[in-house]
Amino acid sequence: MANVGFIGLGIMGKPMARNLLKAGHDLVVYDIVPQAIDEIMSEGAKGARSAKEVAEKCTFVITMVPNGPHVKTAVFGENGVAEGIKSGSLVVDMSSIDPGISREVGTGLKEKGVRFLDAPVSGGEPKAIDGTLAIMVGGKKEIFEKVEPILKQMGSTVTLTGKIGAGNVTKLANQIMVACNIAAMSEALVLATKAGLDPEVVFNAVKAGLAGSTVLNVKAPMVYGRNFKPGFRIRLHQKDLRNALLAAESMKVSLPLTSVVQNMLIDLMNNGKGDLDHSAIVQVIEQASAVEVKKI
Answer whether 187's CB lies under 8 Å from 285's CB: yes
| Identity at 63, one-letter amino acid code | T
- The contacts of residue 191 (CB under 8 Å, 6+ apart) are none
The radius of gyration of the chain from alpha carbons, rounded to an integer in Å, stands at: 20
Answer whether 30's CB lies under 8 Å from 53's CB: yes
Known active-site residue 171: yes
Where do the H-state alpha helices sit in the chain?
13-22, 34-41, 51-57, 68-76, 81-84, 99-110, 124-130, 141-151, 166-194, 199-206, 214-224, 234-251, 256-270, 282-289
- The contacts of residue 2 (CB under 8 Å, 6+ apart) are 25, 26, 60, 150
Helical pair 166-194 and 214-224, crossing angle rounded to 10 deg: 50
236 vs 41, 79, 97, CA distance in Å? 27, 26, 11
Helical pair 99-110 and 68-76, crossing angle rounded to 10 deg: 10
Give dist(CA 3, CA 131) in Å, integer: 19
Given 52, 127, 171, 273, which residue is catalytic? 171
Known catalytic residues?
Answer: 171
